[in-house]
Amino acid sequence: MDSMLSNIAKLHKIDEYQDLMWTGTFEDYLDTVRKNPKVVRSSFQRVYDMVLAQGNVEYIDNKKKITSYHFFRDEADGGRDAVFGLDISLMKLVNVLKSAAYAYGTEKRVILLHGPVGSSKSTIVRLLKKGVERYTRTNDGALYTFEWVIPQANGTTEVFASPIHEEPLLLIPREWRKQALEKLGLLSVDYPVTHILSKDLSPPSRYYFQELLRVHNGNWEAMVRNHVRVKRIVFSEQDRVGIGTFQPKDEKNQDSTELTGDINYRKIAEYGSDSDPRAFNFDGEFCVANRGIIEFVEVLKLDVAFLYDLLGASQEHKIKPKKFAQTDIDEVIIGHTNEPEYKKLQSNEFMEALRDRTIKIDIPYITKLTEEIRIYARDFNSKNVRGIHIAPHTIEMAAMWAILTRLEEPKKHNLSLMQKLKLYDGKSLPGYTQDNIKELRKETQREGMEGISPRYVQDKLSNALVSGKAETCINPFIVMNELESGLRNHSLISSEDQRKRYREHLSLVKQEYEDIVKNEVQRAISADEDAITRLCANYIDNVKAYTQREKVRNRYTGQDEEPDERLMRSIEEKIDIPEGRKEDFRREIMNYIGALAIDGRQFDFRTNERLHKALELKLFEDQKDSIKLSSLVSNVIDRETQEKIDIVKQRLIKNYGYNEESATDVLNFVASIFARGDVKSK
């Protein structure tokens, strides 16, 4: 029997490990390049290919073609850092990466993600860093560097790895590198190879190159055969390989050597000079991130001294280590900042050079309800939240409020903020086309750049779950109360007017919730399929007789009677068919039935949404008095009524996702509305 150690050891993919630890000669590497030119890609080319590798889908939103990249769904990590509702911003980011990959100029810029707090800026960068780590572990994303093998006087060898993970082809002298790349077929690949043609070795590699070339009397081939070992590298933020992160700290405890490296004073005694490249630690964040990605957290909070390094790194792709010549680097420089810091940049004339070298990509808050819901549903679901039932619409109402706080009031006086939210979410409203929705978006100034952060909503959902206000179930009212009470102490709300406006938005959400649950209870009460089928058949019989000027046979008396106008109008009025339009509507129904019959299909009320809704509302009106739902409030219910209510409750549980407690709560809530005579048919 295998031991536990053996069983665990079987999880280790040793073949994959050996592939990732591959080493070989420089000639082996040249063979690899010939077979797979992708290994020599620039940092931007590699990151762009990484995003494309996971596929994309195109869709039309308000007549605008949008590309959604699967990479940002974070499926490889179970969707933990998935980004929702920002396809347009992400499409702009990928376009910048594409332009940089083809050396169209954006490779010389700092990518700046700009937006309000909690809008996913750092999440997007984290996705790129995680993604490139995974990508370099695949065959498609493989890349290589080299190390120097130096014989010692005592017969041993010393190995010195390239400190900035340089491309091995940089070992080919620049004077004849272009001809060499042509022989390797690299000048005819899709991507340009300017990142190889124009760069020099780092100071330590240049030192060993010259010393070892001197040993071999200028014989370059002998030098690389005997002293260069190529190895595969895998990017890792934890191991500080290919991924760097720089975060502003206290000015007194930070200097620019954190970006470019510093002198190793211990080795000065060994090598005799602080300008010897072997006595310098090339371990600053720019060095670490070479050939990969460097993230600048809150980049605009950097001291001006750091910005000079940033400008050279972006525009020239060079850094200036202390006491050494400018050193070539190749990396994606991406930073993120909030609104106040960006406003400072705009008003600071000394920062003009940085503004000129920056590509700003706005990362706003989501303004589409279904996408905002996905943010909260990722964390607050039955899998993650155990022992507490989250009633239907709880997350939806919280998300709806968050969206309302971010929307600008529509300039059209006949459109409410809630209607605007629904239009943005893809719902159709009479009189509004896709062109109208485009106009609505264009007329806004800062929509999505202000409002409530998803973090605030997540915090309040968490409070609702642990506060003890509901031991086994939370509902929208518990969460909305949490959202409202938190406004008093919200650190980012600057004025009482803003608090008042956000409370008004909560009132809109509560009204919307009332309408939703009233509709659900109505549908649960009228969800008797047999009863709807009978009512529909009766309606169709009467409509047929009416349109064909015939009589209807009474099923009980057997007598022929005039069509039941009262019945037909009681159904049609439920969907606002006016008296003057009743004949058109009835003929429309009969034509629809006739068209189905020609195709050999039978009419079913479910296929006509308007008629289905009218029949449900009519049946609800007929049944609500027999159920006496309003008597729930008084707690005096006879057995027959209780049985009917239990049936409705089971329909709510089965069809709408309630549990016993939340179904009872919502019935009591709707019953209280009935009790005050506040029932409005939709």
Residue 599 pLDDT level (bands cut at 50, 70, 90): confident
Residue 681 scores a pLDDT above 50: no
Write down the pLDDT at residue 679.
45
Using CA atoms, how far residue 429 sits from 283, 424, 574, in Å, is: 59, 11, 18
Write down the pLDDT at residue 593.
85
Write down the pLDDT at residue 626.
57
Least-confidence region, from 222-231, 471-480, 521-530, 661-670: 521-530
Residue 556 scores a pLDDT above 80: no
Q: What is the pLDDT of residues 645-666, one digit of tens each?
A: 888 889 899 989 999 999 988 9
Residue 316 scores a pLDDT above 60: yes
Mean pLDDT of 5-19: 87
Write down the pLDDT at residue 675.
67
Mean pLDDT of 410-439: 85
Least-confidence region, from 177-181, 288-292, 311-315: 311-315
Question: What is d(CA 120, CA 285) in angstroms, rounded to the nearest whole number?
Answer: 23
> Taking a C-beta distance cutoff of 8 angstroms, is the pair 194, 313 a contact?
no
Question: What is d(CA 208, CA 225) in angstroms, rounded to the nearest whole number?
Answer: 14
Full DSSP string of 286-345: HHHTTTSEEEETTGGGS-HHHHHHHHHHHHTSEE--TTS--EE---EEEEEE-HHHHHHH
Classify residue 465 as left (phi > 0), alpha (psi -120 to 50) or beta. Answer: alpha
The correct CATH number of 16-364 out of 3.40.50.300, 3.90.1210.10, 3.90.1150.10, 3.20.20.70 is 3.40.50.300
Angle in degrees, CA 319, 325, 329, rounded to 5 = 35
Which one has a higher pLDDT value, 605 or 114? 114
Q: What is the pLDDT of residues 363-392, one digit of tens each?
A: 999 999 999 999 999 999 888 888 899 999
Mean pLDDT, all residues of the chain: 88
pTM of the model: 0.85
Write down the pLDDT at residue 628.
59
Residue 635 scores a pLDDT above 60: no
Every domain of the chain with CATH number 3.40.50.300 lies at 16-364
Any idea which residue has 């797979």 for tokens?
A: 36
Using CA atoms, how far residue 586 sits from 546, 553, 554, 555, in Å, is: 8, 19, 20, 22
